[in-house]
Structure 1
Amino acid sequence: MSRFTWFNATALTFGFAFLYLPMVILIVYSFNESRLVTVWAGFSTKWYGELFRNEQFLDAAWVTLRVAFFSATIATVLGTMAAYVLVRGGRFFGRTLFSGMIYAPLVMPEVITGLSLLLLFISINLDRGIFTIILAHTTFCMAYVSVVVSSRLVSFDRSVEEAALDLGATPFDAFRSVTLPIIMPAVVSGWLLGFTLSLDDLVIASFTAGPAATTLPIQIFSSVRLGVSPEINALSTILIGIVALGVVTASLISKRNLVRQARDARRAIQAGAEDAREARAT
């Protein structure tokens, strides 16, 4: 029985249109000749040239990329460690409190998180800038990384790790040589998720950024309050392209890892079958 109906097709069409039609319109009007973003005056790429000559946007983009890279990297390391402790640590004193502190940023409103971090930085006399934004973004990105890596560790076959330990490997060597390569797709996915969230954050960054450190979302928000310019359309199109490229790259990496694991599994099965045939022959 076919599940395709006109109702499903119509619902799917409207759903995709609701999600992606505004992005398509934004991309189309980024190539508009006119300065008026709602009036089409012909195809042109001049606003991309204007964008790359805008020092404010370029400086904000460089700050945002640095913050996203370092916060995603630190959050990936800390989130992976936290996920490993939660999954492999068993029952220990303070586990409930520890897990609650790890996952609290997932449900905490961003305004509360940003305000609490601002009060913390003021109380310890820490000047706001790139460093404080990195600390703030690491705080909530770490929670997302922990969720992604924990889901992979829960389904991890520990017999492979135990085999490495039986062969004389230390726990650290077993984690570095066996566990980490297997969970690496989840670690990479967590890093990409953290990088994207940091790249997109506005609320927390507005609380923790200083006068000398303006991120791209803050700059865009400040510019939009004075009116949407074609330069913002061009910048948004570039960001959409970067995110789309990251998603496609992550999908290709994940697919390649699955193919490699399937190939290794077939080789192991073939090797086992050959060993069994040799054993029967002798």
Structure 2
Amino acid sequence: MRRKGTSGNGWLRLPFWLTYLFLYAPIVVLVVMSFNRNKTPYSWGGFSLDWYGKLAGNADIRTGLVNTLIVAFGSTALSTILGTLLAIGLARHTRSKLLDALATLPAILPDLVLAIGLLVFYSAIKMTLGLHSVLIAHTVFGMAFVAAVVRARLTHVDTSLEEASRDLGATPFATFIQVTLPTLAPGIVAGALLAFTLSLDEFVIAFFTAAPSQPTLPIVIYSMVRFGVTPEINALATLLLAVSFTVVIAAQRLTKLTEAL
């Protein structure tokens, strides 16, 4: 016996599945064709892992990967520290809707607007472009995401623990290190993972703020795609996809953990 209200409405699920098909079918094709033996990505010639092996021999990809990891790890460290302090300051010491809006603005602004703004700023202060300029740019929008995640965690923190620590004679710094940071740790880790995956895949801001001699991996991929999609590019995109999915899922699990605690 069908439940009341569900009979005859199966056709409503059709747009839902068509939307998912439209979004994820190209990704599935990309992953499958990365194992294609043929050089052309449009015809299947058998299963092969050769294209993954050739990635290690591509000097441009190695250079782009090293630059991307330097920027990703550096910006993640900076955005985690600054974002955590920003979240604590906004939640505990400053009550201002204007400051709240400014803190989240880098995450809301379109990447193109933020990239042009940063490029104009670098030009105004006569800063040369390089990995340092990309690192600063990624830190700017990464700290906004970290601050948002840490603030969500702060809503579940019992402030009486900090008060008890101070009543027992602990200094504010000792209380921050021994009480506040451990309770915020799941949120901090989740924010750091989110900032890392955003930096790893980010293209627009890096394209505007990087030096031509020091491209990040997404810029290298863009320069290769302009001459046609090959199974080698599919293999590289598949690896990036796997890393991004892993980091995002880990961040989501930690975020749910912070809400449950």
| TM-score of the two chains, using structure 1 as the length reference | 0.82
More displaced 10-residue stretch of structure 1: 167-176 or 245-254:
245-254
Q: Is the 8 A contact 2:190 2:254 kept in 1?
A: no
Q: Distance in 2 between matches of 1:118 and 1:6?
A: 51
Q: What is the count of residue pairs matched by the alignment?
A: 257
Tell me which residue corresponds to 1:271: none
Deviations 1:186-245 (A, max 9, x none): 111111111111111111111110022101111111111111111110001111121233
Q: Distance in 2 between matches of 1:9 and 1:112?
A: 37
Tell me which residue corresponds to 1:43: 47
Percent sequence identity over matched residues? 42
Deviations 1:22-59 (A, max 9, x none): 22211110000111111111111111122111100111
Q: Is the 8 A contact 2:162 2:179 kept in 1?
A: yes
Tell me which residue corresponds to 2:29: 25
State how 1:122-141 maps to structure 2 within 5 Å. 122-141=123-142
Offset at 1:12?
Answer: 5.2
Residues 115 and 26 of structure 1, relative CA distance in 2, 3 Å threshold: same
Residues 32 and 87 of structure 1, relative CA distance in 2, 3 Å threshold: same
Offset at 1:251?
Answer: 5.8
Q: Distance in 2 between matches of 1:132 and 1:81?
A: 22
- Give structure 1 stretches of 5+ with no counterpart: 262-282
Picking from 34, 37, 58, the partner of 1:54 is 58
Picking from 58, 69, 74, the partner of 1:65 is 69
Tell me which residue corresponds to 2:92: 88
SS at match of 1:25: helix
Q: Check if 1:201 corresponds to 2:202.
A: yes
Offset at 1:87?
Answer: 0.4
- Give structure 2 stretches of 5+ with no counterpart: none
RMSD: 2.4
Q: Distance in 1 between matches of 2:5 and 2:50?
A: 48
Residues 76 and 101 of structure 1, relative CA distance in 2, 3 Å threshold: same
Offset at 1:7?
Answer: 4.7
| TM-score of the two chains, using structure 2 as the length reference | 0.89
Which of these two proteins has the greater Rg computed from alpha carbons? 1
Residues 157 and 69 of structure 1, relative CA distance in 2, 3 Å threshold: same
Q: Distance in 2 between matches of 1:144 and 1:238?
A: 24
More displaced 10-residue stretch of structure 1: 104-113 or 142-151:
104-113
Offset at 1:96?
Answer: 4.2
Residues 245 and 112 of structure 1, relative CA distance in 2, 3 Å threshold: closer
Q: Distance in 1 between matches of 2:131 and 2:248?
A: 26
